[in-house]
């Protein structure tokens, strides 16, 4: 029994040990399995999976809303908008149709620089499959797919200013040439749609598209564009009962049509042979929108360093990024090399020198614009009571006449305190010493030695009188071509035979308006937006292959209302064209019978005070005064439709002015 009891105890202890071993193995297995389970679970709910689910959810909701938007009645979006913003006003076309206005005078649109579409007709191997595809305007798909090939085909020949060998890029024809610049970004589309509301259609509307890269006379040499415009206007007058056309140029198109009016009168082979009465017989009115009649300082910064305010700010946030070799591209160098083959850019260099734009210690604008003032919304076409009050006592005079200054101290100091090293002229006369650095992308700065770059900076400050010397210095090839097609002075004697040359025809200070006393000229532009007027520059310390000059964005005016921000002095304008350039000729140079307007063509100023959209539902706004967005301004569109329907400038109410353009005109000593 004792034996049995010992065996039983032994078995009991063994079984107990066995159970302990099993438990230990289970615990050991659990230790191995637990991380696997946790790892499995964490992988199942990773951040990547959450992002995919989130993107899928957003896309599903987006497609559902898009489907809902396209299937719902058209009145529902309008109902929602009106519920948020209040009742919407009728578009001008609908409003004027209710008043009984109908189609009358045929209209001609003249687009400006950049906004017209360009398509490929012949190209190199890298552009295979792009025949008659848009290289400019539309989706800009080829810019993203093959940027170097795109830049090559958008460039002109650097010697002739015409097509490079084996490349033909031509303007898109028809109203689609400039109705939209890109998908959803209108240019002429809103105006066309409103004209259609009172009966206009393609037979009574004509888009005078041209290759905006070329000099104005070269559009005739290469494409016979000026002859086509002449023939189309004559056809429109003949097929519309002899009713004269209303011409509506925008931006650089204003200068282009000014050139056309002299070309059409001039005898062949230089001109169109229409005779001195052609404009009087065919044109009722020229309604210029945002016209840079006397040039824009923005063109100077573009030629000098391929910059404007926005690009300079972008450089601040990403220093050197655009200058570097990013994905095989040196953005600024490619952009400079391409744009400096576009002769049209030279047409917008400031004209009239210091007489118009001011000198070292004076400018016509003085200090009469508060860059920090907020624009009030103004829904009335003829209401001038909402002009913001400006406390001139709290404002500091701005030396706008100094278009380029190297350093803030130079920009603000009196001219007697500026020590200038006058090395520029000597340097220009000296032999050019090319940089020895091998650069992948050639630009004209690579042909300039460091001593000449230093000389340009040591000259300190440039006015409209000396800016041409600077541009000849930094861009000799472009300025040599441009000098054969454009001029920037003020004529002493307009009867001098030399002014019969086409290089003077787009400068209103060196040419006469047509002999057409019944024709009307309108200057229509936005006001109330700080617009680039002068710049503070610095010399960069980047590599030898970079652009040596750059806007100094660290320079600030020191107060909220200052007109100096980010190295840029601002004046009143439409964000691109200062009021001085857009309005001076209508306010003074062409006002009444002058040597520039010998037949006394009536001129009117129609300014539109800028009011930004109140909310996102307004899109780009119906009261915008911005350079391109003004094409959707209801007040401007109403003015155009009324004139096209037969109204005169007096019936519109004459001048409609917000700015101090008439005061500035009095300060300018322009011989009339």
Separation in Å, CA 192 to CA 109, 186, 204: 10, 11, 11
SS3 letters across 293-358: CCCCHHHHHHHHHCCCHHHHHHHHHCCCCCCCEECCEEHHHHHHHHHCCCHHHHHHCCCCHHHHHC
- Find, among 110, 107, 108, 106, the residue nearest to 251 by Cα: 110
CB neighbour class for 274 (10 Å; exposed up to 12, middle 13-18, buried from 19): buried
Cα–Cα distance between 643 and 104 in angstroms, integer? 9
Separation in Å, CA 163 to CA 219, 342, 477, 524: 11, 11, 16, 34
DSSP annotation string for 37-89: HHHHHHHHT-HHHHHHHHHHHHHHHHHHHHHHHHHS-THHHHHHHHHHH-PPP
Cα–Cα distance between 308 and 286 in angstroms, integer? 30
Separation in Å, CA 92 to CA 99, 178, 194, 195, 381: 11, 21, 6, 9, 12
Residues 48/49/54/55 CA torsion (nearest 10 deg): 70
| 564, 555 Cβ separation under 8 angstroms | yes
Exposure string of 547-559, with b = 16+ CB inside 10 Å and e = fewer, is bbbbbbbebebee
- Residue carrying the six token digits 């615990």: 27
Cα–Cα distance between 582 and 587 in angstroms, integer? 10
What DSSP element (H or E) covers 473? helix 467-474
Give me 134's structure tokens: 């848009």
| Residues with catalytic roles | 251, 574, 627
Cα–Cα distance between 485 and 216 in angstroms, integer? 8
Q: 3-class DSSP state for residue 291?
A: coil
């Amino acid at each position: 029994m004792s034996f049995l009891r010992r065996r039983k105890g032994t078995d009991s202890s063994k079984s107990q040990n066995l159970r302990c071993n099993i438990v230990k193995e289970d615990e050991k297995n659990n230790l191995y399995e637990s991380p696997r389970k946790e790892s499995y679970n964490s992988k199942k709910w990773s951040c990547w999976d959450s992002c995919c689910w989130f993107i899928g959810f957003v896309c599903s909701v987006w497609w559902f809303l898009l489907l809902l938007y396209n299937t719902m009645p058209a009145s529902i979006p309008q109902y929602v908008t009106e519920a948020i913003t209040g009742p919407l006003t009728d578009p001008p076309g609908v409003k004027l149709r209710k008043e009984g206005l109908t189609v009358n005078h045929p209209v001609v649109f003249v687009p400006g620089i950049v906004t017209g579409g360009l398509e490929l007709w012949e190209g190199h191997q890298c552009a295979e499959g792009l025949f008659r595809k848009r290289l400019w305007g539309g989706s800009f798909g080829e810019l993203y797919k093959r940027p170097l090939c795109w830049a090559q085909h958008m460039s002109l020949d650097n010697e002739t200013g015409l097509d490079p060998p084996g490349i033909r890029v031509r303007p898109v024809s028809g109203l689609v040439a400039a109705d939209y610049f890109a998908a959803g970004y209108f240019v002429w589309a809103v105006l066309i749609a409103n004209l259609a509301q009172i009966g206009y259609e393609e037979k009574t509307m004509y888009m005078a598209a041209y290759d905006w890269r070329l000099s104005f006379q070269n559009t005739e040499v290469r494409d016979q564009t000026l002859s086509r415009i002449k023939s189309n206007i004559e056809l429109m007058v003949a097929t519309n009962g002899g009713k004269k056309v209303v011409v509506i140029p925008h931006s650089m198109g204003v200068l282009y049509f000014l050139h056309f009016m002299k070309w059409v009168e001039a005898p062949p082979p230089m001109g169109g042979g229409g005779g001195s009465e052609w404009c009087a017989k065919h044109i009722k009115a020229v309604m210029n929108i945002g016209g840079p009649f006397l040039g824009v300082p923005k063109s100077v910064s573009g030629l000098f360093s391929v910059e404007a305010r926005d690009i300079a700010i972008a450089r601040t946030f990403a220093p050197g990024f655009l200058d570097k070799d990013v994905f095989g591209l040196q953005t600024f160098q490619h952009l400079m090399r391409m744009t400096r083959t576009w002769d049209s850019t030279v047409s917008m260099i400031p004209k009239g020198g210091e007489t118009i734009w001011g000198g070292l210690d004076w400018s016509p604008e003085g200090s009469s614009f508060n860059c920090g003032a907020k624009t009030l919304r103004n829904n009335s076409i003829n209401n001038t009571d909402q002009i913001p009050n400006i406390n001139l006592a709290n404002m500091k005079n701005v030396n706008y006449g100094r278009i380029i200054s190297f350093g803030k101290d130079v920009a603000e100091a009196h001219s007697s305190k500026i020590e200038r090293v006058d090395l520029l002229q000597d340097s220009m006369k000296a032999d050019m010493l090319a940089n020895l650095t091998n650069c992948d992308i050639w630009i004209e700065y690579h042909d300039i030695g460091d001593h000449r770059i230093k000389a340009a900076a040591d000259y300190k400050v440039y006015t409209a009188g000396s800016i041409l010397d600077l541009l000849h210095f930094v861009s000799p090839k472009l300025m040599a071509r441009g000098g054969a097609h454009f001029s920037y002075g003020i004529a002493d004697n307009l009867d001098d035979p030399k002014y019969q040359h086409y290089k003077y025809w787009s400068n209103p200070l060196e040419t006469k308006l047509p002999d057409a006393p019944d024709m009307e000229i309108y200057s229509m532009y936005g006001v109330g937006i700080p617009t680039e007027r002068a710049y503070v520059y610095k010399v960069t310390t980047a590599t030898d292959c970079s652009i040596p000059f750059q806007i100094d964005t660290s320079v600030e005016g020191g107060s909220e209302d200052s007109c100096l921000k980010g190295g840029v002095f601002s004046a009143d304008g439409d964000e691109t064209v200062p009021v001085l350039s857009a309005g001076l000729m209508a306010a003074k140079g062409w006002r009444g019978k002058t040597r520039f307007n010998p037949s006394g063509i009536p001129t009117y100023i129609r300014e539109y005070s800028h009011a930004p959209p109140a909310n996102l539902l307004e899109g780009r706004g119906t009261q915008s005064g911005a350079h391109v967005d003004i094409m959707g301004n209801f007040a401007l569109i109403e003015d155009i439709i009324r004139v096209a329907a037969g109204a005169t400038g007096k019936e519109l109410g004459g001048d409609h002015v917000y700015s101090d353009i008439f005061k500035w005109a009095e300060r300018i000593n322009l011989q009339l």
